[in-house]
Structure 1
């Protein structure tokens, strides 16, 4: 914090591989947050993959676990 009490907002911490550290969660929102926090070209690639998976996999379930997005189909 600086002397005025304002903290510098830096967003999620990037891990050694350059991937964001995002809390685990289920659903679209945590995955979108993870993708939005990805640096540089990884963000574009993440969005493309997320959109592709949504179009191709009916009723896909999404989650963030172990600082990675996961996609699956219930029961499989």
Structure 2
């Protein structure tokens, strides 16, 4: 079941669903879905990048914005560890 919690409550191993327009709440690994992510605040790159499960495009960075579709993400670090 889905429930809404604060990003600060997330722990390593938690799975979150992120929808278009939302911020990715923490570093993690995409386990389902394919979407464009705006990483400009982190990388300086203005063009969104595609993230999807499997392969070398599955890692996502916290505080980046989903600009299309949705992703299921497994959080890879506790707050303050990444």
Relative to the length of structure 2, the TM-score reads 0.28
Larger radius of gyration between Structure 1 and Structure 2: 1
Structure 1 or 2: more helix by fraction: 1
Which is richer in strand?
A: 2
Which structure's relative contact order is higher, taking Cα pairs within 8 Å and 6+ residues apart? Answer: 2
TM-score by length of 1: 0.30
